[in-house]
């Protein structure tokens, strides 16, 4: 319970800090996005559910991920190769472009939605899992100031892959290890349920 409170408080603290916002040029970003389109589609709404939708994601979160793929803080051999030739301005421009695209929506699995919604909105007190909405917002819109991603509309399969990567310590670019701590307490059925639920958030 104590850890749950600490995580929730940390979310609030990070969300209240002054952020250095991305200042990219969306028009320039569109012109530079052809390589990204192969996996993420021209408008950032990937059709392969293993690849994230970039459309509508906050520019600051996208920029953080590109920077960390480049630095190695977020390990991904494919993305490391993609970002290697990008300049800081390229990354800002691409982030601005994709953040300005509308995300396509999908439905949650009705069989999983009740469990997913309960976790998203209330967490799991028994295992010490805080509500996802504490950091990612009641509508799943994220927290751009804290660089917490929007979850609403994201592919369930991609969300599930990332939660399992945090749980396995294979992804380690979360602030204060928050996601690794949380994911370690989630079961496979819980991960599948909450991933499906956020896919259906409007």
| DSSP letters for 116-167 | HHHHHHH-BTTTTBPPTHHHH-TTS--BGGGTBPP-TT--HHHHHHHHHHHH
pLDDT (tens digit per residue) in 64-79: 999 999 999 999 999 9
CATH superfamily of domain region 2-17+105-200? Cytochrome c-like domain (1.10.760.10)
- Work out the percent of the chain whose per-residue pLDDT is above 70: 89
Residue 4: pLDDT above 60? no
Output b/e per residue, 182-193; b: 16+ Cβ within 10 A.
bbebbeeebbbb
Structurally, at CATH architecture level, domain 26-99 sits in Orthogonal Bundle (1.10)
Domain ranges of the chain: 2-17+105-200, 26-99
pLDDT (tens digit per residue) in 7-28: 554 564 554 444 445 689 999 9
Instruction: Please provide the size of the chain in residues.
Output: 202
Average pLDDT score, the chain: 93
Q: Could you give the CA distance from residue 164 to residue 58 in angstroms, rounded to a whole number?
A: 23
Confidence (pLDDT) at 129: 99
Residue 197: pLDDT above 70? yes
Q: How many CA atoms lie within 13 A of 173 on its CB side?
A: 19
Confidence (pLDDT) at 23: 83
User: Mean pLDDT, to the nearest integer, of 24-42?
Assistant: 98
């Amino acid at each position: 319970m104590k850890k749950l409170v600490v995580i929730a408080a940390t979310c609030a603290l990070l969300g209240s800090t002054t952020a250095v916002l991305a200042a990219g040029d969306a028009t320039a970003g569109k012109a530079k996005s052809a390589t990204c389109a192969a996996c993420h589609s021209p408008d950032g709404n990937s059709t392969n559910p293993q690849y994230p939708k970039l459309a509508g994601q906050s520019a600051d979160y996208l920029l953080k991920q590109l920077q960390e793929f480049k630095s190695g803080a977020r390990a991904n051999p494919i993305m490391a190769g993609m970002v290697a030739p990008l300049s800081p301005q390229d990354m800002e421009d691409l982030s601005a472009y994709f953040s300005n695209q509308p995300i396509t929506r999908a439905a949650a699995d009705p069989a999983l939605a009740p469990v997913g919604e309960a976790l998203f909105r209330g967490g799991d007190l028994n295992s010490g899992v805080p509500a996802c909405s504490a950091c990612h917002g009641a509508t799943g819109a994220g927290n751009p100031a804290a660089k917490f991603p929007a979850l609403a509309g994201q592919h369930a399969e991609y969300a599930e892959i990332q939660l399992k990567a945090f749980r396995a310590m294979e992804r380690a670019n979360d602030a204060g290890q928050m996601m690794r701590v949380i994911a370690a307490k989630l079961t496979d059925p819980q991960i599948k349920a909450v991933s499906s639920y956020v896919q259906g958030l409007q």
